[in-house]
Amino acid sequence: MDPMSRRLLRELKEYRTGQTDSQVADLAPTSDDDLQRWKAVILGQEGTPYEGGKFDLEITVPRTYPMQPPTIRFLGKVCHPNVHFKTGEICLDLLKTTWSPAWTLHSACIAIGALLMSPEADSPLNCDAANLLRCGDVRGYNSLVRMYTQLYGVPSGASGTATQSVH
């Protein structure tokens, strides 16, 4: 078994046995035959405009992992200054220049969840969302994020979380 596969199987085992955080709801390979393709689900945190949302991530692991970072993108539409609204691309240093083999797929997903709560308006992929924050319109930004979370981030059948009003 190659080093990448051994590492990924260890990460999967550690995630399944130690999974206690409330932010990453799922992390697994998409099939037993391909350890280079994973899926993850990040939950919107309580008290944020993403609250009640479930956000799917697609993870592609390079053969050079863990020396090189995985490619991670949102599968659905996410309104956030550092997420491209159409492609799901994520602007996060950890996924580009500051990656270290000490990071895991799980810790990268946690970092993406933290990015949802702490947007960086200075390196936007979504200029509309970033401009609201740059202009100090936090209320407008939160309202826009809540609306898109309800439209695209809430699983069907979750009527209890989708009924929040947009202010």
Residues recognised as catalytic: 91
Q: Which helix (H) or strand (E) holds 14?
A: helix 3-18
Question: Helix 3-18 vs helix 105-117: angle between axes, to the nearest 10 degrees?
Answer: 60
Take residue 63 and report the two structure tokens written for it.
């053969």
Examine residue 66 and say whether the peptide bond preceding it is cis (omega within 30 degrees of 0). Answer: yes
Tell me if 84 sits within 8 A of 126, measured CB to CB.
yes
